[in-house]
Structures are given as structure tokens and as C-alpha cells.
């Protein structure tokens, strides 16, 4: 457990030194949220209809900027080999890195989701639902991204490859996350169904992907 906490502390300190990483994610999210309504025009009814999907897209695009950096720094300084090869529970160490990435990249963008919702003219009740669904599904997004990052870890300028690898796995999340706002969800049935599906996806990936990523990183370290 001490090693688990120390990895989180180390990653947080490294990310905080590179403030441009999460600042860029926030800035990119806000820029997209501001530009999308301009592209749609003055039709507020249309904007209100599609704005939940636009907020999801803005969030996903801002996350895609940084997904290739999950293990990149550790690979370059050699600490990744220590975590994977010498740790008794390498899967737990990988989860600690996922937590660090969530705290420093995902959480700041989530904090700015209300501002993005205001820019996109989203109703407060719908905005609360969207934020909840994004929080539930965000661990899934990082876990999927960690696979792409592990596969492309030896490549230079791996951002494009990682994006191509993980984007198909993000599309179902986008569809499920926007269903409650497409259908006439008077009793919130679709919202609860989407919450359960996204929660199940997160738990499933959490149970499997750390072991898969450990195997991929061990193969790449040989």
C-alpha cells in the first residue's frame, strides 16, 4: 500500500510540474465548447437538442489530447520497468497511475463541465446528468487509453496511433451517454439504464485491463 500511495504522490508531483498538460486539456475543452455553438448558428432550439452530445464530444476530444502520456514519462526515465518487473503487484501499481491520471487530467476538465454546459445552453437538470455519466465512465476511458499507450509506448509521436486505437472504444460510450437526452426520458429510465451500462463497462475494464496492460508492457520491455 505504501508503494501504491508513493506512486500516486510521485505522479501528482510530476504532473503538477508540467502544468501545461492539464491546462491544455481545460483550454481545449473550453475552446471547443465556445466554438461549437458558433458553428451551429442562432438556432437555440437546435443547439438545446444536440448540446448534450456536443458536451460529450468536447470532453472526449480534450481527453484524447493526453491519452498517449499515461506511461510515456515512466518509460523514458526507466521507472516503468521497476513498476512492472520488480513490483509484487504490478497491476496495483498500474491502477495507481490510472488514479493519478484521473486526478490531474480528467478531474480538472470535469470541474469545468458546468461552464461548458452554459456555453452550450444545456438545461441544469440535463447538465447534472451528463456530469454524473461522465464521472462514471471516465475510469473506462483512461483504462482503454492505457492499452493504446502501452502498445505504442516505444513509438515516437504516438499520439495519432493511440487516438486511432482507442476512438472506436469511445464511440459506444458516447452513444450510451447521450441516449437519455435523445429519447423522451420522462421517468429517467434511460438515464438509469445508461448509468448501469457505463458503470458495468468501467467495472469490467477495471477487472481485466490492468492485467492486459501489464502483459503488454512486459512484452515491450523485452
Instruction: Count other Cβ atoms within 10 Å, centred on residue 70.
Output: 27
> Domain tally for the chain?
1
- The tens digit of pLDDT for each residue in 48-69 reads 788 888 899 999 888 887 776 6
pLDDT at 200: 96
Computed over every residue of the chain, the mean pLDDT equals 82
Confidence check: pLDDT of 187 > 70: no
pLDDT digits (tens, 9 = 90+) for 204-217: 999 999 888 888 87
> Positive or negative, the Cα torsion across 124, 129, 131, 134?
negative
List, for residues 25-51, the tens digit of each pLDDT value: 888 899 988 888 887 777 777 777 888
Domain that holds residue 46: 2-221
Please name which of 63, 68, 61 lies closest in space to residue 22, comparing C-alpha atoms: 63
Indicate the pTM of the whole model. Answer: 0.87
Amino acid at each position: 500500500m505504501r508503494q501504491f500511495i508513493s506512486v500516486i504522490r510521485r505522479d501528482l508531483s510530476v504532473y503538477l510540474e508540467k502544468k501545461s498538460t492539464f491546462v491544455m486539456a481545460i483550454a481545449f475543452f473550453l475552446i471547443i465548447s465556445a466554438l461549437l455553438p458558433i458553428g451551429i448558428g442562432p438556432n437555440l432550439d437546435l443547439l438545446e437538442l444536440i448540446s448534450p452530445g456536443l458536451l460529450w464530444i468536447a470532453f472526449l476530444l480534450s481527453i484524447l489530447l493526453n491519452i498517449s502520456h499515461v506511461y510515456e514519462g515512466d518509460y523514458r526515465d526507466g521507472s516503468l520497468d521497476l513498476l512492472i518487473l520488480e513490483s509484487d503487484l504490478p497491476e496495483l501499481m498500474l491502477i495507481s497511475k490510472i488514479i493519478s491520471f484521473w486526478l490531474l487530467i480528467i478531474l480538472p476538465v470535469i470541474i469545468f463541465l458546468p461552464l461548458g454546459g452554459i456555453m452550450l445552453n444545456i438545461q441544469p437538470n440535463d447538465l447534472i446528468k451528463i456530469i454524473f455519466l461522465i464521472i462514471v465512465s471516465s475510469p473506462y476511458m483512461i483504462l482503454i487509453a492505457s492499452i493504446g499507450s502501452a502498445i505504442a509506448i516505444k513509438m515516437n509521436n504516438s499520439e495519432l496511433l493511440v487516438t486511432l486505437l482507442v476512438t472506436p472504444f469511445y464511440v459506444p460510450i458516447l452513444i450510451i451517454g447521450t441516449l437519455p437526452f435523445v429519447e423522451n426520458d420522462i421517468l429517467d429510465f434511460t438515464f438509469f439504464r445508461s448509468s448501469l451500462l457505463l458503470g458495468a463497462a468501467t467495472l469490467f475494464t477495471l477487472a481485466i485491463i490492468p492485467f492486459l496492460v501489464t502483459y503488454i508492457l512486459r512484452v515491450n520491455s523485452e
